[in-house]
Chain A
Amino acid sequence: MLKYFINTVFLLSCLVLFSQNDTQSNDTIIKNKYGLRVGIDLFNPVNAFFDEGRKGLELVGDYRISKKLFIAAELGYLEDVSDEDFINATTNGSYIKAGIDYNAYENWLNMENAIYVGFRYGYSTFSQTLNSFTVNNDPFLDDLATVESGQKFDNLNAQWAEIVLGIKVETLNNLYLGFSFSGKKMITTKEPKGFKNLFVPGFNRVFLNNSGFGFNYTISYLIPLYKKDK
């Protein structure tokens, strides 16, 4: 992991050096800002006010590789309580998503806004705790007792693919606000024995056909590294 980090830093420093060799000085050419954009997801902190069962943190980042393409990644931690009619379970774990964003918006002049579509590969490792359940029997029997279980299912994981639709707006210089919506489809999961992955961090609620969706508000800051005319 550290090796990749060092490589990335090295790669970035090279790019900075290249930009210094740029000798073009024509002021009328509009240049795009290139750099690393880092931010934080605001959905979970805001949602925590309304939904006590969900706690989490997500860091977002993207790196521009051409006029329209960005390499993007999200890293997060999430804890969620699934409170169903007959089951109550807690999921907690961390996740990483990586992929590409394509900016489909044609900016005016030197504006740097984005309406984008993106693809992500997601991976999560997590555990589930079955807090309690009620045996589902004929309602004629009026003593459907709730069983306090506390059984824990460790070492679970999941892989999925996502399509992201979103916008990012530069509100102050280099400061971006954005929101995005994502549709997800599970590729593989390691299911617990005698139970099911009801919720996967980063994927959210697992629906019947193994699909899911998510919503993000982000605030991010662009660390400008160099400028290029396209």
Chain B
Amino acid sequence: MKKTLLTLVALLLVITGCERDDICIDEITPHLVVRFYNNDDQTLLKKFSQLSVKIMGVENDSINFSSNDSILIPLKTTEDITRFIITLDSDQNTFNRDTLTVAYGREDVFVGRSCGFKTIFNNANYTLQTDSENWILDTEIITQTIDNETTAHVKIFH
């Protein structure tokens, strides 16, 4: 009988143990994934050397990226629009500032106890503000639905 009791206690500990759901490990709201391509040969990726991204209406400083051909930037989940000021060669005097506006629809999706809800975006559209010297020459939408970060959502040609 004692053995049976011990087995039951052990079984009880096994089935009630393993509390791991306090940490959020699932995917939350996806970032906008942008890839940079060469405008002359639009099939080739083209790296930037230094880039900084400022989100309009957000207190925080810019997000800086260096020597890469893709970036992940967050979209606002409180508005249907996010305006980015993307500065090329932000570390030099020859920097060039362009404004890219992303408009989208939002949907809140339940993820789990610890992660809560995430937002997925659909019908994403991009508007480039023209100025005297745009460094962003063109954009191309890869997918209008932003629900994961595994593939790029938009191409920027420069």
Contact = CB atoms under 8 A, between A and B. Distances in A.
Nearest to B115: A136
Nearest to A130: B110
B86 to A, nearest CB: 15
B16 A86 contact: no
B28 A136 contact: yes
A137 interface: yes
A138 B29 contact: yes
A124 to B, nearest CB: 18
Contacts of B4: 117
Contact of B113 (A87, A138, A141, A163): A87
Given A104-B1, A163-B11, A212-B16, A196 B113 contact: yes
Interface stretch (B37-45, B73-81, B87-95): B73-81
Contacts of A198: 113
A138 B30 CA distance: 9
B47 interface: no
B interface, size bucket: 35 or more
B74 to A, nearest CB: 4
Contact of B119 (A135, A208, A212): A135
Contact of B110 (A147, A194, A211): A194
Contacts of A134: 116-117
Nearest to B28: A136
Interface in B2-51: 4-5, 8-9, 11-13, 15-16, 18-21, 24, 28-29, 31
Contacts of B31: 138
A56 B62 CA distance: 51
B116 A87 contact: yes
A142 B115 contact: no
Given A117-B4, A141-B77, 20 more contacts: A85-B24, A86-B117, A87-B116, A104-B1, A135-B108, A135-B116, A135-B119, A137-B29, A137-B118, A138-B29, A144-B77, A147-B108, A183-B11, A196-B112, A198-B113, A207-B18, A207-B21, A208-B18, A208-B20, A208-B21
Interface of A: 82, 84-87, 104, 117, 133-138, 140-145, 147, 163, 165, 181, 183-185, 194-196, 198, 207-209, 211-213
